Amino acid sequence: MVERFDAVDVIRTKRDGLVLSDDQIDWVVDAYTRGVVADEQMSSLCMAIFQRGMNREEIARWTAAMIATGERLDYSGLGKPTVDKHSTGGVGDKITLPLAPLLAAFGVAVPQLSGRGLGHTGGTLDKLESIPGWRADLSNDEMHRQLADVGAVVCAAGSGLAPADKKLYALRDVTGTVESIPLIASSIMSKKIAEGTGALLLDVKVGSGAFMKDLDRARELAATLVDLGVDAGVSTSAMITDMSTPLGRAVGNANEVAESLEVLAGGGPADVVELTVTFARELLAHAGITDVDPADALADGRAMDVWRRMVTAQGGDPDAPMPVAPHVEEVRAQSDGVITRMDALGVGVAAWRLGAGRARKEDPVQASAGVYLHKTLGERVSRGDVILTLHTETPERMPRGLEALAAACDGAGAIEISADGPERGPVVLERIGTVTGESRT
């Protein structure tokens, strides 16, 4: 087979700050997936993209080219709207767990393809796998049946969706090009568009515990994601949400499932409830449903009913007790005052070191490891009060978890107590995109 282009010419085009043509993009993504373009050549192109950027048309074409390397799911036969939410990842970010059944309680289908945690950010599949018997791997037919019968499914993405992305992400991870917004956005959206959802909400986290630390960069990523969705014909909006402080009080796999159940039972931490209900309103509006209050389905048990059916459909036991860590250690307040810092990154790294996360994709995780926040940002404490409890199955991990808290914020520590301080600010910082024809930028 004679190739249409030469990889070096494509690299030079972007290296020199020029715009890649549609044909160049289609060819280089396909050729890399086929093994014609070598890793070192794609590494050079990724670095050129990192340094020179891409315009909206280039990013849209790059995303479409990655989708074209695999299959595209189709749920048009379900007879009901499909919606989905994607988060860029954070600490204590468990919103998918209560959100999916809450949305399904209003008659929309939620095909939620999720991932596993890496580093200090948790993975939805790891959390759900702390439920005895629950399985993440479903065939396309099983997904379709569950969406028809239950209305919601949370499972692993199959290897057939955007295989170019899997190969390209691994390369970016070892070549210092992960932070490129065009490559981040196309990675996320190639899978989400291929997933076949009709509407999509992007939760772009910003703050110490998020991938994006800077609000301007978060805005740029959110706008790029929304543009890609709109260009692909998916009703899309984004919310930029605060991740300077952990979300909720539970961090860690089984801990976060337990807290999600509190939300589904009509309780739970205020910030988790706020995001769950806010996201539900946004996605229901995308589906044309605006005359309901999602909070009602948390209060009256409808969302919990869907949760139980969803877990059971994937082999899980919704009545099984969550695993409990055999080793715990408390962190107590050293003074009276108000908590003016509860650093998300420090808490997330502590949970990771305790066993809740992994350093490599193949590493196992502990279901019961993590951190529980008895007190959090803006709350008053007295000397000796328990602020955090650390949980692990392996006690030798405990010193490293405590060390992560102490080393956070350049050694100032993850927790700061002052004589006085402001209440916690809003969790939702900005909205970007369009819902049912109304500008939300």
Show which residues are catalytic. Answer: 86, 165, 172, 187, 191
For the beta carbon of residue 231, count every other beta carbon within 10 angstroms: 18
Q: CA-CA distance, 147 to 80, in Å (whole number)? A: 10
> Alpha-carbon torsion 290, 88, 169, 357, what sign?
negative
Q: CA-CA distance, 323 to 392, in Å (whole number)? A: 11
SS3 of 29, please? Answer: helix
Q: CA-CA distance, 194 to 32, in Å (whole number)? A: 19
DSSP codes, 336-369: SEEEEEE-HHHHHHHHIIIIIS-SSTT----SS-
N- to C-terminal Cα separation, the chain: 48
Token pair, residue 261, equals 């159940």
Q: CA-CA distance, 191 to 205, in Å (whole number)? A: 19
Beta bridge partners of 205: 241
Q: CA-CA distance, 135 to 310, in Å (whole number)? A: 11
- Only one residue has tokens 């009276």, namely 336
Q: CA-CA distance, 292 to 106, in Å (whole number)? A: 9
Q: CA-CA distance, 410 to 400, in Å (whole number)? A: 16
> Helices in 212-337 by DSSP H: which ranges?
215-231, 253-264, 270-286, 294-299, 302-313
Name residue 322's amino acid: M
Q: CA-CA distance, 99 to 303, in Å (whole number)? A: 9
* 359 φψ region: left (φ > 0), alpha (ψ -120 to 50), beta (else): alpha
> Alpha-carbon torsion 333, 335, 338, 340, what sign?
negative
